[in-house]
Each structure stands twice: as structure tokens, then as C-alpha cells.
Amino acid sequence: MCASYVIREYQDRDADSWLRCRLLSFFHTNYYDDVVTERPAYAHPSARHVAAADKSVVGILDAQVDGANATIEVLAVHPDHARRGIATALLRKTEAALARYAVSTLDAWTREDVPANQWYQRAGFVENFSYLHVHKVDADDATGFETPPGLSRPLTAFMHASRDHEASLRQRFRRVYVCRRYVKTFNAPPDSMSDGA
């Protein structure tokens, strides 16, 4: 584990650095076009942590609580700081913070990026559901798409689909991803768990 960063709660002054970290960490993943220009606000209680190196945010983890379940809304590590234990340290800090809400499950959604899927599995998450994210890009066939009068045919579209249609959708569209839900169940409050991960 690298000693050049500190895990702490997000502060408003982190906003620009938080956005840069998210953008750069998503750049080489299936989520490369999931760009936000403002830090999201959450309707429910949340645990919001960053890994900070000097004045820069190099890792982020936001988890939103809804009853006994919490969802990781974003988990990202700046590519220049990857593979230093930052994601694991953020997860531990977040799990401890979630104890005050009596959370019994923590879930997360990810696409087909192998390192992300492997990390969730190593961190004790189990896949329990999947479906497809389908992106229609301009070069893809627009047959079957309709728009109101006065508008062109759709240039881009983002859709969900059952995995039952995966083979035919992959033939028709260039960007089809399996979106997986991972769940981690806590038998005891997260802050009483061991640091063995």
C-alpha cells in the first residue's frame, strides 16, 4: 500500500479534483463516455470518501444508503495511482462509515472491464444479476427506431436489454456490454469486519 495518500471524507473544495479523477479513471474503461460536469448530489444519506495525495484527489468512492441497502454510486482511482491499494482502502473506510446506518448489503454495478470485475470479486462481492447496456452509435443501423416529425433518425441511443437477446444485439450494435450487479452481504456491522481483504 502506498503511503503517499490519505483516505478522508469528501469536502466541497475537492469538487474539481474529484471530477478530474472520475473522468481520467473512466477514460480507458467501458464507461468512457459517462461524463459528468458536476459532482452528483444524493437524495439519501451517503458515505463520500476520497483518497488525497497532496491537494489532488486520486481516488473516490461514494455510496448511497437506502434502508438496509447501500449502493456504490462511483468508485474510481486515477490511472497514475492504480494498483496501490487505494480502492481497497476506500472500500474499508466506506464500510466502516456505513455501520452507522445498519446496512446489511452493499451493491455495485459494473460493465465488462476485467480489472473492475476481478477487484469486486476479490473484495468479497458476488455477482447476482446482469443485463445488457446497448449503445446505438451513428454508424449502427437505425431500422426500427422512430422519431417525432421534424427530427432526424436517431444518431445515438442508450438502451437496456435482457441477456436473452445478447447474440443478436452484438451483431447489430458495436457497443453492447454486460452490466453486472455485485453484492456484498454483512453478517455483522461493517466496522467490526477484519482487515484481511
Average pLDDT over residues 138-159: 92
pLDDT of residue 3: 53
Give residue 195's pLDDT band: very low, low, confident or very high (50, 70, 90). Answer: very low
CA–CA separation, 192 and 187 (whole Å):
10
- CA distances in angstroms from 64 to 19, 24, 112, 134, 176, listed in the order given: 18, 23, 23, 26, 27
The pLDDT of 178-197, averaged and rounded, is 70
The pLDDT mean for the chain works out to 92
Query: Which pTM value belongs to this model?
Result: 0.88
As a whole-number percent, the residues of the chain with pLDDT over 70 amount to 93
Note the pLDDT of residue 153: 87
Which whole number is the average pLDDT over 135-158?
92
Residue 68: half-sphere exposure toward Cβ, Cα within 13 Å: 8
C-alpha 17/C-alpha 52 separation (Å) is 10
Mean pLDDT, residues 56-65 taken together:
97
At 170, the pLDDT band (50, 70, 90 cuts) reads very high
Cell 483516505 found at: 7
Domain ranges for the chain: 6-103, 109-188
- Please give the pLDDT value at position 192: 45
Does residue 196 surpass a pLDDT of 50?
no
Q: Is 24 exposed, middle or buried (0-12, 13-18, 19+ CB in 10 A)?
A: middle
- Report the pLDDT averaged over residues 111-115: 95
Identify the residue whose cell numbers are 477514460. Answer: 27
Give mean pLDDT, residues 52-67.
96
CB contact at 8 A, 70 and 99: no
- pLDDT band at 113, cuts 50/70/90? very high
Residue 126 clears pLDDT 90, i.e. is over it? yes
Using an 8 Å Cβ cutoff, are 22 and 58 in contact? no
Percent of the chain whose pLDDT exceeds 90: 86
- Domain 6-103 CATH class label: alpha beta
Higher pLDDT, 197 or 160: 160
Asked if residue 131 lies in contact with residue 177, where contact means CB atoms within 8 angstroms, the answer is no
